[in-house]
Structure 1
Amino acid sequence: MKITLAILASLLLCISCKNPKSEEISSENEETVATEELCFRNEYSFPDSTENIDVLNLDLHIKGDSVTGNYNWLPALKDQRHGTLEGTIENKTITATYRYMQEGIEETAEITIVLKDDKAIITGDNPNSGLDTEVAKIQCNVD
């Protein structure tokens, strides 16, 4: 009887244990997807003021063919535009949905970002939106 209980307890213990190898494999597979951080920034100084600087920045996080990021226009003396983007990349061209807030209004636009060695070229689906520009590539801040 003691042997039967010991065998039964051993079987229950084995059944209740998870297979840690399968978890390791799935996390290893996730890590093999290429990831990249890219940063772009333009600064426009006022000719008569060193304190006032308009800033345009674009930060991208690319994982495989998925892209997320932030695209912000931060003028010193006007209402700013803060937004996030989400999309895909193929052949250094990103197609994304850009959601932003400006002057208290939420807007959505479809944008295309062409990545070059030294800049990003951004075009929006509406030429009057003010989204079209080129932004210089910079070194990302590593925390």
Structure 2
Amino acid sequence: MKKTLPGLLFAAVLLVSCQNTPKQPESENTEPRSGGKPPTKTSCYELRFGPDLTAIELTVVGDEVSGFMAWEPDQKDGARGMFKGQKVGDEITAVFDYMIEGSIQSEEVLFKMEGDKLLQGRGEMDDKDGQLTFKDKSKLDWEEIFTLTDCANIKESIARAVDMYGMIQKQKGN
């Protein structure tokens, strides 16, 4: 018995130390990273219209942005995927790769960060080599306003977007 007790204690400590810690809902690392990398900030936003939800998890590292977005209309197919792009000042320009109704799409998305709000630009688009791009960025409508939220409030929607992006990558052969 004396020989097995230390072994059991060691196994219990090892098991507890190896468990994944849950991701914090919002995080900001303002400490300089090794190698002089800029700090990372992750924020979550939501836009609710009745039972419809659009959820965004946005990560900013210096001037690079990435994130997951899920458009989930009530009782209809939605669109889910990932965007990557650049931030200049308070404006973000990115490419959103997503799946909607079983079809993989790619489109340009534009956002403006205003305090605790995230505005998404909407406007007329053209198809250029399989990617939708804005015809005239100066004529965008900025009425789609997302509010800052605790990431825990949209974690299930974002998890579906992450899963969908994984399926997109498999279909693309990446």
Which band: TM-score by shorter chain? Answer: 0.5 to 0.7
Partner of residue 83, structure 2: 85
Structure 1 residue runs of 4+, over 6 Å off?
A: none
| Amino acid of the structure 2 residue aligned with 1:54 | D
What root-mean-square deviation, in Å, do the aligned CA atoms of Structure 1 and Structure 2 show? Answer: 2.6
Structure 2 unaligned blocks of 5 or more: 1-32, 127-131, 133-141, 156-174
2: CA distance, partners of 1:139 / 1:127: 32
Q: Secondary structure at the match of 1:77?
A: coil
Partner of residue 70, structure 2: 72
Deviations 1:106-127 (A, max 9, x none): 1111111101112111125645
Structure 1 unaligned blocks of 5 or more: 1-26, 46-52
2: CA distance, partners of 1:33 / 1:139: 23
Q: Secondary structure at the match of 1:29?
A: helix
Percentage identity across paired residues of the two chains: 24
Q: Secondary structure at the match of 1:98?
A: strand
Alpha-carbon contact 1:40-1:58 (below 8 Å) kept? yes
Partner of residue 54, structure 2: 56
Partner of residue 28, structure 1: 34
TM-score normalized by the length of structure 2: 0.54
1: CA distance, partners of 2:58 / 2:120: 13
Residue 41 (structure 1) aligned to one of 46, 49, 62:
46
Higher Cα Rg, which structure: 1
| Amino acid of the structure 2 residue aligned with 1:138 | T
Structure of greater relative contact order (alpha carbons < 8 Å, 6+ residues apart): 2
Residues matched between the structures, number: 107
Partner of residue 148, structure 2: 137
Superposed displacement of residue 95, structure 1: 0.7
Of Structure 1 and Structure 2, the greater strand share is in 1
TM-score normalized by the length of structure 1: 0.65
| Amino acid of the structure 2 residue aligned with 1:140 | C
Q: Secondary structure at the match of 1:79?
A: coil
